[in-house]
């Protein structure tokens, strides 16, 4: 079981450590991820001033980033769609449907491999979903959404 939370610059390193220490006893993993939901809202839905409205700084982009999450994670949606990660909110990260193929065939299939190659290779700009993912952004108080996972 994994517990995930998001933080902004308003959360201190001590508060983050405290959150991890408090919750680690109850779950297998605690993941601390930079808050980027407003990147979706501002870039995807065209609401550019949303950061100011809530007094938050928009995080800066890193250089080219690779993401390895689709190598060990998939998301099954209620309609059976299988996606590359838990952050998939577009059709672009769907690589099968469990009502049409077995889970193992989907996991090992060509569409999944194509997506993994692209994402692990760092072609995140090309995928609408990955373009606004936390792993592409810098934060002062945490390192990186994917690599910040603790067991
Ligand atoms: S870059 Fe983000 S959205 Fe894309 S696969 Fe990785 S975690 Fe998911």
pTM: 0.72
pLDDT per residue over 39-83, tens digit each? 778 877 788 888 888 888 788 888 888 888 898 889 999 999 999
Write a three-state SS string for 92-123: HHEEEECCCCCHHHHHHCHHHHHHHHHHHCCC
Give pLDDT, residue 18: 92
What is the atom index within ligand 1 of the atom nearest the CA of 124? 1
Look at residues 44, 128, 43, 55 and name the one whose alpha carbon lies nearest to residue 92: 128
Handedness of CA 39, 43, 47, 48 (dihedral sign): positive
Ligand 1 center–CA 68 separation, angstroms: 8
């Amino acid at each position: 079981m994994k517990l995930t939370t998001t933080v902004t610059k308003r959360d201190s390193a001590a508060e983050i450590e405290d959150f991890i220490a408090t919750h680690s006893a109850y779950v297998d993993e605690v993941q601390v991820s930079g808050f980027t939901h407003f990147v979706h809202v501002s870039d995807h839905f065209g609401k550019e001033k949303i950061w100011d409205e809530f007094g938050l700084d928009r995080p800066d982009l890193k250089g080219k980033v690779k993401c390895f999450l689709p190598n060990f994670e998939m998301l099954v949606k209620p309609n059976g769609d299988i996606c590359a990660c838990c952050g998939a909110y577009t059709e672009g990260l769907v690589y099968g449907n469990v009502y049409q193929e077995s889970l193992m065939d989907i996991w090992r299939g060509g569409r999944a491999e194509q997506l993994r190659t692209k994402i692990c290779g760092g072609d995140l700009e090309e995928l609408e979903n990955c373009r606004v993912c936390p792993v592409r952004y810098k934060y002062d108080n945490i390192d990186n959404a994917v690599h910040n996972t603790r067991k």
